[in-house]
Amino acid sequence: MCKLCLPLPFFNSFDLCGSSKEIEDNERQIMMDLKAEMEVAMKLLEKDIHEKQDTIISLRMQLDDIKLINLEMYKKLQECEGSLSHKTELISKLEAKSQAMSNSIQSLEAKYRECESVRLVAERRRRELDLQAAHQEEQTNGIEEDLKVEREWRVSLQETMQQDREKISQLQHELTQLRLIAQKYASLQEEYYTLKEHCLEQDQTLEELGKKLSDSKLELSELKEQTSRKSDGTWANDKDATQCRLCEKEFNLTRRKHHCRNCGDIFCNACSDNSMSLPSSAKPVRVCDNCQLDLSKRHTVM
């Protein structure tokens, strides 16, 4: 401590006449204290500098680590961008595929509707054939008395009808298969045309069989009628008759020709469904409505 720094009372009380040696000792002591303080401050400063240098080194290491992390993140970002672009391409491809699949599904639905319409037409045709078969059975039951002589032919006809029914059931089975293969429209169309031609052939076959049956029945009827023909020879020709003599309706496959055993003219079944005994026959035979009335009146008069 110097004299200038001393308080005023102390300075006043100080002996101005003191020896300069004490002053120098005091100054030296103060200098030594200052030097010691400076050394301590320098050591603290060096320690602080070393700590800051260590901190700077650790910060540099952390900065290097952050740079490495940023580099890895950049690489991962590039990889993610590549993966994202690849996934985007895959998504676009999948969308295209889904659009194509939807188009194919729509086309398949259209084909299925067409197949369903074809099945309905075939089923309607089958029902018509069933109705025709039922109608033919009713007609067969209505003329059982006239078909006693030709039972063998009727049996063969029933066998033919059974075969037709089997073919119809086979067509029904094919129709059920058509519902299962709706996705194969090309082959289904070919099968449809084949089935249509087959049905036409079956219709033609049925018509031919009906014509053959009608011809055979007419031949048998002629044979029967020739045995019971009248003695005067007035027997109408089948080829010349085109309509019923009484109701004047045209003859066809369902409206057959019948001879009256009394007058010899040709009538339909409705106008000649009477049976009476004649002098030329031992059992009741077919007669028309007019002859039936005349014969009834004769028997009543007798």
Helix (H, G, I), strand (E, B) or coil at 71: helix
Domain boundary among the residues 201, 227, 253 is at 227
The phi-psi region of residue 142 (left if phi > 0; otherwise alpha if psi is between -120 and 50; otherwise beta) is alpha
Type of residue at 103: N
Of 176, 197, 227, which marks where a domain is finished? 227
One domain for residues 282 and 194: no
Distance between first and last Cα of the chain: 190
Tens of pLDDT along the chain (302 residues)?
A: 444 444 444 444 444 445 678 888 888 899 998 988 899 989 899 888 998 888 899 898 999 889 899 899 988 888 888 888 888 888 888 888 888 888 888 888 888 888 888 889 888 888 888 888 888 888 878 777 776 777 788 788 788 888 888 888 888 888 888 777 767 777 767 777 888 888 888 878 887 787 777 767 666 655 555 555 444 446 778 788 888 988 988 888 788 888 888 888 889 989 988 888 887 776 888 899 988 888 888 777 65
Flag whether 19 is in a domain. Answer: no
Range of the domain at 255: 231-302
Quick one: 158 and 200 in the same domain? yes
Residue 265: which CATH number? 3.30.40.10
- Joined together, the tokens standing for residue 203 give 């219709």
Q: What is the pLDDT of residue 271?
A: 92
Residue 44, SS3 per DSSP: helix
CB 277 within 8 A of CB 263: no
Residues 201-231, buried b or exposed e (16+ Cβ, 10 A)?
ebeeebeeeeeebbeebbeebbebbeebbee
pLDDT at 188: 65
In a domain, 63, yes or no: no
CA distance 193 to 196: 5
Q: How many domains does the chain have?
A: 2
pLDDT of residue 231: 40
Pair (184, 276) in one structural domain: no
The shares of helix, strand and coil residues in the chain, as percent rounded to the nearest 5, are 70, 5, 25
Same-domain check for residues 197 and 103: yes
Q: 274 in a domain, yes or no? A: yes
Two tokens, residue 234: 């007035």
Distance set, CA 199 to CA 121, 132, 189, 204, 205 (Å):
12, 14, 15, 8, 9
CA 146 from chain center: how many Å?
A: 53
Separation CA 165–CA 152 (nearest Å): 20
The answer as to whether 11 is a domain residue is no
User: Residues 114, 201: one domain?
Assistant: yes
